Structures are given as structure tokens and as C-alpha cells.
Amino acid sequence: MEFEQADALNQAIRLLSLRHRARAAALLAPLGLHPGQEALLLELARTGPRIQAQLSDALGCEPPSVTLMVRKLEASGHLRRGPAPSDKRASVVELTDQGRALAGQVKRLWCELAEETVAGLPDRTVAALPETLRTMTGNVDTRHTRTSRGRGDGGRA
């Protein structure tokens, strides 16, 4: 890839990321949430109670970040923690009734944000975006060992 194309692509991804996060923050602020907290609420709404380590894996963030989010959301009455039955060192996190109601509000905001983000794009493009973006995320995911993908050497270093 030529530098001009690489630069245009990287700049577009960077700007989308920054502006999407800023727009999400603006939508979440009236609910008393900060970016990242909505993902935790939505994960618990999808899956039910989870151990904090599972939440960390599902959200793709470090355990201390999840611990901080859980503490804040617990203090505001949206979550509760209890010991895991199988491992007393682990905490199980679950939504409270207040947290379930907030997750419902977040779902509506998330739909609004998604619609704003893809406005003007053809339906076919919108349908392909989640898989395309998951692939791109996997390509740059530093949590996993890099493979020979893109080296053109058949896997030889």
C-alpha cells in the first residue's frame, strides 16, 4: 500500500474513533455514564451475571478498568457484586433493577448513535460493516500473538 492511501485510511479510522467516542460520551452524559460503562451494562444485560474476569475478556479491557467501572456502577445502584460460588476470590457482577432500566435506555441511545454513524450508507454496506470492523480489529489486536498474516513469507520469520 502506498503511503498516501495508508495515511488516508489511518486518518479516517482515527477520526471516526475519536468522534464516535465523543458523540457516545455526549449521549451517555445525561444518564450519568462515561464511555465504557455502557458496554459493561450491555454485556450484563446480554449475558446475565458474570465474574469480573469474564467481563474483562468480553469487553477487551484490563481487569483494573473493569474493577473501577464496577465500583462506580455499584455505588450508583446499577450493579451489585457477590462472591462467586465456585471461587470465593472472584466476584460475580449482576445488574440491579435500576441497572436493567438504565441498560434499556442505553440500548435506545446505542441505536441512535449507530443510525447517526451510518447515515447515508447503503443498506448492503451497513450490513457488512460489523464483520469488516471485527476483522480490522482482529488485525490490530495486540492482546494476541501476531501471525504471519500479511508477511508474504508463508509463515517463516
C-alpha cell at 14: 482515527
Q: Which domains does the chain have, with CATH numbers?
A: 10-135 (1.10.10.10)
pLDDT-based confidence at residue 153 (cuts at 50, 70, 90): very low
Condensed to tens digits (0 to 9), the pLDDT of residues 97-146 reads 999 999 999 999 999 999 999 999 999 999 999 999 999 988 988 766 55
Q: Kindly report the backbone phi and psi dihedral angles of residue 89, in degrees, each rounded to the nearest multiple of 5, phi listed first.
A: -80, -20
Give the Cα separation of 94 and 90 in Å (integer). 13
Give the Cα separation of 153 and 145 in Å (integer). 17
| Over residues 11-39, mean pLDDT | 95
